Amino acid sequence: MPGKITFYDVLSALDPPQWSSNTLRTRLALNFLQLPYTTVFISYPDIESTLCGLGLEPSNPPPYDKQPAYTLPVIKDGDKWVSGSFDIAVYLAKQYPASPMRRALFPHNTIPLARLIAGYLNDKVLTPARKLAFPRVPTWLDDRGAAYFRATRQQWLGVPLEEYYSSPDEQAKIRIDVLKGLDGISKMLKDHPNGPFLQGEDCGYSDLQVIAVMAWIRRGDPDTWNTAMESPEMKQLWEACEAWLA
Ligand SMILES: N[C@@H](CCC(=O)N[C@@H](CS)C(=O)NCC(=O)O)C(=O)O
């Protein structure tokens, strides 16, 4: 049953279509909170014109020579628009707090922990993982999206995507960096003897952010995903959360 929330996600040629770690964070949060929503998929080249046409402010500040002005995810809840995955999560947690029928998105007031995890994942996992996965992204997209992704990333990275793809030796080193980053998460998970979540027995947005990144890595570099899943803590976390990816 479509509810009053509309969720704007990036169009792809995949089945199922969801793939972006940024928008998966929002999808996971909506599913975790069991909120009904309708998804609108937008092709990359239409994101700016669509969001600008809806009267929204840019998601990023200028200059735009190395980053887009407008990004997804965005949600509309009634009359309220919210953009940026973290801001959306904070909004949803406030608007849809824990109740006997609903879990807390940030159990035990863990917004600060979730912010730290967002930064950690970006610096230690996503930044190196992009070097492995980026060249594959156009193969997942609709034709217009793929052409846009190639052109904009060439402009922002300063090299064609094919050249961004490193040699097999470099790739092996990057994989080690990504796995080190993920190992850091496994160690944090181990710190909670009552696991399997970063908050112990309670799942929350910190965990969902890990799952969004893991889902992206699974598609972008399956070898790294397989190795990371050899960690019993990571495997347990994945198995506990994967249903919310759908
Ligand atoms: N930190 C932001 C990042 C959002 C982001 O970069 N989204 C990408 C989609 S994966 C986007 O919309 N890019 C627009 C473009 O490349 O033109 C968030 O988590 O919301």
Give me the architecture of the 5-95 domain, per CATH.
3-Layer(aba) Sandwich (3.40)
Sorting pLDDT into bands at 50, 70 and 90, what band is 128?
Answer: very high
Over pLDDT 70: what percentage of the chain?
98
CATH 1.20.1050.10 intervals, the chain? 111-245
Ligand 1, pocket-test mutation among 10, 12, 22, most atoms within 8 A of CB: 22
- Rounded Cα distance between 29 and 85, Å, is 9
Name the more confident of 127 and 162.
127
Name the more confident of 199 and 167.
199
Mean pLDDT of the chain: 94
Name the more confident of 25 and 132.
25
What's the average model confidence in pLDDT over 22-46?
97
How close are the terminal C-alpha atoms of the chain, in Å?
15
Q: How does pLDDT run across 94-125, given as a tens digit for each residue?
A: 999 999 999 999 999 999 999 999 999 999 99
**87 CA closest ligand 1 atom index:** 20
Fold of domain 111-245: Glutathione S-transferase Yfyf (Class Pi); Chain A, domain 2 (1.20.1050)
pLDDT given at position 39: 97
What's the average model confidence in pLDDT over 184-209?
94
Ligand 1, pocket-test mutation among 25, 72, 155, most atoms within 8 A of CB: 72
pLDDT given at position 228: 97
pLDDT given at position 157: 87
pLDDT given at position 3: 54
What's the average model confidence in pLDDT over 136-165?
92
Decide whether any atom of ligand 1 lies within 6 Å of the 68 Cβ.
yes
Decide whether any atom of ligand 1 lies within 6 Å of the 8 Cβ.
no
pLDDT given at position 167: 83
What separation in angstroms does the CA of 21 have from each of 4, 26, 86? 24, 9, 12
- Residue whose tokens read 């759908």: 246
What's the average model confidence in pLDDT over 39-59?
97
CATH 3.40.30.10 intervals, the chain? 5-95
In this structure, which residue's CA is closest to atom 1 in ligand 1? Answer: 84
What's the average model confidence in pLDDT over 28-46?
97
* Helix or strand holding residue 9 (H, E): strand 5-10
Sorting pLDDT into bands at 50, 70 and 90, what band is 163?
Answer: confident
Sorting pLDDT into bands at 50, 70 and 90, what band is 92?
Answer: very high
**23 CA closest ligand 1 atom index:** 10
Residue 1 has pLDDT above 50, yes or no: no
